[in-house]
Amino acid sequence: MCNFIVRFPGSKPGVIVLGTHYETNYPLRNINFVGANDGASTTGLLMTIADQLRALAAHGKKMDGYSVWLVFFDGEEAIQQWSRSDSTYGSRHLAAKWGRDGTLSQIKAFLLADMIGDKDLDIERETHSTAWLVDLVAQAAKRFGDQQYFFKQDMDVEDDHLPFVERGVPSIDIIDLDYGPNNSYHHTAQDTMDKISAHSLTIDGDVFMETIRLIDAR
- State the helix-helix crossing angle for 198-217 and 42-56, rounded to 10 degrees: 50
Touching Zn ion, residues 22-41 (CB under 5 A): 38
Q: Residue number with the shortest CB distance to Zn ion?
A: 38
Q: Does 178 bind Zn ion (CB under 5 A)?
A: no
End-to-end distance of the chain based on CA atoms, in angstroms?
Answer: 36
> Nearest approach, Cβ of 82 to Zn ion (angstroms)?
9
Q: Is residue 176 at the binding interface for Zn ion, with CB under 5 A as the rule?
A: no
Number of residues that bind Zn ion (CB under 5 A): 1
Question: For strand 4-8 and strand 107-114, is the pairing parallel, antiparallel, or unpaired?
Answer: unpaired
173 binds Zn ion (CB under 5 A): no
Of the candidates 160, 146, 163, 161, which has an alpha carbon nearest to the alpha carbon of residue 204? 146
Nearer to Zn ion, 38 or 146 (CB): 38
Q: Report the residue number, 118 or 210, with the smaller CB distance to Zn ion.
A: 118
Work out whether 118 is an interface residue with Zn ion (CB under 5 A): no
x/- map, 37-76, Zn ion, by CB under 5 A: -x--------------------------------------
115/123 Cα distance (integer angstroms): 9
Position 160 contacts Zn ion (CB under 5 A): no
Beta bridge partners of 5: 71
76 HSE (CA, 13 A, CB side): 27
Where does this chain bind Zn ion (CB under 5 A)?
Answer: 38
